[in-house]
Amino acid sequence: MKRQSGALRVLSIDNYRLTWPALVSSQLGRMMWIFASSILIYTLTDSALLTQMVNVTVAAPQFLLGIFSGTIADAYNRRVVMFLSLALMALFTFLAAFLALFGLIEAWSILALSTVIGVLYTVNQVTRRTFTFDVVGKDLLVHAMALDNMGTTLGFVFAPLLASLFLSVAPDDVTRGVTWTYFAIAAFYTASGLLFFKVRQAWVQVQTPLRPSSAIANMSEGIKVVASSRALIGIMGVTWISNFFFSPHRTMVPVIGISVLHTGPGMLGLLGAAQGIGSLLGALYLSSRNSIRSQSFYYWFGAASSMALLAVFAASRNFPLSFIGLVLAGVGQAWFGAMQATLVLTAAPEHLRGRIMGILNMAIGSQALGSLLLGIMSEWMGPGPALLSFALFGAFSTVIWVYIFKEMNKL
């Protein structure tokens, strides 16, 4: 009798069948926020730097609060933490929608709300990824993370398309289109929170009490574990490089689409979905496998290849080549993203998983610094040349880093 694929075994778990659509719904909300807010700020200011600040404000909390969010994930009931964070994200998105509805929204208010939502997302992301281990266990973790990555990918695919659909309702009034986009985002966050609330916890979570006197000690314990492992340092470094040099491009896609490729709302949405389409293909490939060997190779090669292919998009001056470059880059990001949390969670001690995932989130937060630098470079040399330089340097740096920290290939 043929053995079920890992993905089907994961989907046979009742709680995972609730958490997966909750993940998809929250990712749709997050990516629609980034895409729509980027278009609105670029329309209001005509500044690539201010447009990049959307990514900066959303990602900066991951860098600054990543490990602290890990202590929260270890100290409190993770299901409750996820529900509360999503409920607050829905509330602040409703606020943005009403500000836009009454013509009161400005660039500074978008960036302020992006910061608040970024803080809440940081807590939610660390908690959710640690929670996945609680739900499926070690043996099925790599398949669960592949499915999680597929869920995130669906956000990348459909968020730009949905946002473009709302924007096309009022093509001459971007603020009006963004207003309805914000209402939809709030609905997605609400649905995600309700799904997490329905999960029935059938396991005992090992909790580390969080007290002000012990908070620093708890965080430093996680840092010491990472610092003592060259393999974990290698993993964190690849994550830092990829998020610094690859992730900032997402808010540049509308800028390049409008200023270089001269696309309308419909084609702009398709271009924004291109990376997600490739990531979906890459995630489907991983999910269909009964077993996945050489996990670390998928991880670093996916990161390096996605940056090399991003360079194709940055150098292109025609839509088909730009689209293909982003699709293929998405395949590499799917491999990188699926193995990222898998490698860290399987290498971390049980009572420290949340904190070490928090450190990983700090590395992910490097995209805030990358976004700021890319925005400055774009003002100086133009969006395309700036992104091309970023992508090529990132791909080269990844290969060098993996060569230095060969120990990560043993995981």
Tokens for 24, please give them. Answer: 């998809």
Q: What is the pLDDT of residue 1?
A: 43
Q: Where do we find the tokens 């289109």?
A: 177
Q: What is the CATH topology of the domain spanning 10-199+215-410?
A: Growth Hormone; Chain: A; (1.20.1250)
Q: CA 256, 262, 265, 268 torsion: positive or negative?
A: negative
Comparing 165-174, 252-261, 369-378, the range with the smallest average pLDDT is: 165-174
Q: Give the SS3 label for residue 106.
A: coil
- pLDDT at position 239 over 70: yes
The per-residue pLDDT for range 134-191, each reduced to its tens digit, is: 777 777 777 787 788 778 878 877 888 888 888 777 666 788 888 999 999 999 999 9
Q: What is the pLDDT of residue 210?
A: 58
Would you give the distance in Å from CA 401 to the centre of its chain? 22
Would you give the distance in Å from CA 63 to the centre of its chain? 13
In percent, how much of the chain has pLDDT > 70?
89
pTM recorded for the entire structure: 0.72
Region 208-220: what's the mean pLDDT?
58
Q: Looking at per-residue confidence, does 186 or 56 come out higher?
A: 186
Region 346-365: what's the mean pLDDT?
75
Residue 369 binned pLDDT confidence (cut-offs 50, 70, 90)? confident
What is the phi-psi region of residue 206: left when phi exceeds 0, alpha when psi lies from -120 to 50, beta otherwise?
Answer: beta
The per-residue pLDDT for range 178-208, each reduced to its tens digit, is: 899 999 999 999 999 999 888 876 555 555 5
Q: Where do we find the tokens 């990358």?
A: 370
CA-CA-CA-CA dihedral for 78, 280, 366, 223, to nearest 10:
40
Region 223-240: what's the mean pLDDT?
87
Could you tell me if 141 and 85 are in contact, meaning their C-beta atoms sit under 8 angstroms apart? no
- pLDDT at position 286 over 90: no
The per-residue pLDDT for range 311-336, each reduced to its tens digit, is: 999 998 888 899 999 999 999 998 89
Q: What is the pLDDT of residue 98?
A: 94
Q: Looking at per-residue confidence, does 118 or 260 come out higher?
A: 118
CA distance 194 to 187: 11
Q: Is 202 exposed, middle or buried (0-12, 13-18, 19+ CB in 10 A)?
A: exposed
- pLDDT at position 363 over 90: no
Residue 406 binned pLDDT confidence (cut-offs 50, 70, 90)? confident
